[in-house]
Amino acid sequence: MSMKAHLLKLNDFGMPAVGTGSEAIYTNLIYLIMLEPGKFQSHPTMGVGIKSRYRYNNEENFLQNLQMDITNQINAFLPEISMVDVTLNTKDHILGILIDTEDGVYALSYDDTKGLVEASASYMLNDL
């Protein structure tokens, strides 16, 4: 069974678009990383909550804790993704997230000035 994700756009027939393959994996990773824990009553621990957690970061081991949290969230809520490794790096106000899976490598970036996670983070690969 391949992973699917509902996208925030319409297809050619005016129906809600559904992504598959790497588009679905990117979309679900972004949703999980941006989601604040407690938003879904049926799954209160679901979500990394990177916007609030990264913006108000003052933990000494922040990157290690965030790396472990992202890994645990993917294992718990996106078991279709066979996890291999999560690597984090910061540069200026950008947090680079590299998720290496059996299906490929997914690069994301979080810009704390915009509060955005983007999948088009290939420029971060050189910095990681």
Q: What is the reported pLDDT for 47?
A: 95
pTM over 0.85, yes/no: no
Average pLDDT score over the chain: 83
Could you give the CA distance from residue 16 to residue 63 in angstroms, rounded to a whole number? 36
Mean pLDDT of 55-73: 85
pLDDT at 72 over 60: yes
pLDDT in tens, 77-89: 999 888 778 999 8
Please, which residues have CB within 8 angstroms of residue 94's CB and are 6 or more apart in sequence? 109, 110, 111, 112, 124
Mean pLDDT of 87-116: 86
Could you give the CA distance from residue 92 to residue 109 in angstroms, rounded to a whole number? 12
pLDDT at 46 over 50: yes
Q: Which numeric CATH code is attached to 4-124?
A: 3.10.450.40
Q: For the chain, give me the number of helices (H) and strands (E)?
A: 3, 6
Could you give the CA distance from residue 98 to residue 108 in angstroms, rounded to a whole number? 6
In sequence order, the β-bridge partners of residue 116 are 111
Where do the domains of the chain lie? 4-124
pLDDT band at 128 (very low <50, low <70, confident <90, very high): very low
pLDDT band at 42 (very low <50, low <70, confident <90, very high): very high
